[in-house]
Amino acid sequence: MKKLTSIAVLLAASMLAGCFDKNAVADITGPATGARIKFFNFGVSSPSVNFYANDTKVTGITSGTGVESNSGVAYGGVGAGGYYSAIPGGSYTFNGRITAVTDNGLQVMKLTSTIETGKAYSFYMSGIYDATAKSVEGFVVEDPLPATIDWTQATVRFVNAVSNSQPMILYAKNQTTGVETAIGGVVAYKGAGVFTPMGVLATGVASTYDLSTRLAGSSTNIMTRTGMTFSAGRTYTIAARGNITVTSTQLLDNTANR
């Protein structure tokens, strides 16, 4: 199967006016306009879904025959191959719908949010999936990317998508120098920290860090991930996902914003 990477430049205003099949994934070859948004499935134990803006499908996977796959965006995944999708600014009911044969098209979460033209956002299905109610939570955060690129260091922010966690601080420790940096301040569930410089890095060389989260004033790690690489001039989001009471579900996810 191949991902529809061209989805990163879709959904012109005419699409939302209903000029195409609402279940089709559009392929627009012109330049991206409006707002930009990424879609993450971080709802623990949630089914695979396609993401929609109102009734317009924004993510999808096709097979080699052109027939859409039932795979969708699985737990831990991001739609459109990790790229931003472009949609007109405005108020939307963002929602995720099951892609499997069983319960196909069933909406398991929805969230109304307004996004602004010229800005970037990330949408997260989050928390722990309720298999009885067939529902999961979600939230949207703005991605206020730095206006200029600093080619001497990486810039990182922290998002907390763990519904049963306490507010946490993200730390990044350089494996070579041993220097540890707090990435912003305390971030509660459904929150996002500020983009924070990690310190001067060698241009063109990826530096390796060990990541951890802690409560404010504590030296005890809650979530950890070692051996993560970051490059100067790049902007990243580290998102915590999983069930805080089940270690095997926990992960600090690293996604490049730019």
Query: Domains of the chain (ranges plus CATH)?
Result: 2-142 (no CATH), 153-256 (2.60.40)
Three-state secondary-structure class, residue 131:
coil
Phi, psi of 224 (to 5 degrees): -140, 155
- Predicted pLDDT of residue 199: 79
Shortest CA distance to 207 belongs to which of 146, 153, 136?
153
Chain segment 67-93, per-residue pLDDT in tens: 777 889 999 999 998 999 999 999 999
DSSP 3-state assignment of 8? Answer: helix
Three-class SS state of 62: strand
Where is 16: in which H helix or E strand? helix 13-16
Phi (first) and psi of residue 29, to 5 degrees: -95, -5
Residue 59 tokens, joined: 């993510």
pTM tops 0.75: yes
The pLDDT value given to residue 182 = 95
Tokens 């060389």 found at: 205
Q: How far apart are alpha carbons 120 and 117 in whole angstroms? A: 8
Nearest to 209 by CA among 183, 234, 229, 191: 229
Per-residue b/e over 149-168, b at no fewer than 16 CB within 10 Å? eeeebbbbbbbbbbbebeeb
pLDDT digits 0-9 by tens, 91-118: 999 999 999 999 999 999 999 999 999 9
Spatial strand order of the sheet with 135-142 comes to 85-87, 35-41, 120-130, 135-142
Among residues 58, 24, 253, 249, which one has the least CA distance to residue 49? 58
- Give pLDDT tens digits for 141-190: 999 999 999 888 899 999 999 999 999 999 999 999 999 999 999 999 99
